[in-house]
Structure 1
Amino acid sequence: MIDCTVSDSLVLPEPWKGTYEDIGSLAMVLRSASIAMIRSEKYCGVGISILSDRVRVYDNASADWGKPKKIELYELVGQPTWIAPFTVSFKCPLRGDIRCGDVIELPEGLYSGAASIVMANTTAPSVIAKNSTTFTGKFLVKSVRHIGSYLTADGDAWVTVFEAYAENWARV
């Protein structure tokens, strides 16, 4: 099955024929051609992801910003980090429900639950900083990597690493 959600503005003026050795070559041509057609600084181009049950073709112009997948504060392993302009990286315990092209929302504020009880009588800024997130808001997932270390019980050994574009840059 092919799941294709791209901008309606991507229309070729004439038929376009091509033969590609692999899906990666096709993906590079599609990304370059779509960026040339849209001509917007915020447009990321067409991306292709091969999933277990389908091939997903997507771009940031067709992202569903109204229904983000929420990342809870307790799900983050460490703090989200800027890795490039408007691009953030963060880790969670293994997640199979978030894929390239999905919109996610990073949590706001401080921890709730057991961690908040410990913090109730603490005013040290360093303690508060450790229990809140650096970045909040909506992001468009651009890459997903699952990392596992066989026979390791450490919580950091079985994680999913995400890279995502900030909404204020990726929203076309």
Structure 2
Amino acid sequence: MMEEILTRNDGRMPTAIEGINIHFSTIDDLANAVLLRWHTRLVASLERGLVDDPEDREEAVIEAWRHAAQIYSGVRKVIDELANNPPTDVVHHAVVATARHDWAIMAITAGLASGADGAGVRVGHRLELEARRRDLAQEGTVSRLGVRPLFGKLRAKRAG
């Protein structure tokens, strides 16, 4: 399932994979599995970002979120789609709960909060928004400079 999400990278939940109903009986179960995988990736990225005891922990957290989102781009797109168009109330609740938990962990890791209270959640949300803003700014710069087509050509040349 995760390989399919990462390969497709289209933001759609992979419900038509052969045998998926053996492991996930409902869309709620499938969404929970995707959310757990994202959360695990984010926490690993946060821990990795603190290994060298960075001077600017806030910056380390922002970059850790960006790293996780880059590695799990397809998963992040699925979660964003689930947040915008939840198929069930259970999925909506799970997406919101996971986001709040992620934000609290980000704020605590950055040293900007001491718990998973409302203030910590707000600070973590701000950190995620900054990470997303940087990604959008980078995408705009990359596409304006024509670097994406160059990377595509290099990949094609290397593959061929």
Answer yes or no: same fold by TM over 0.5.
Answer: no
| Band of TM-score, shorter chain | under 0.3
TM-score, normalised relative to structure 1: 0.22
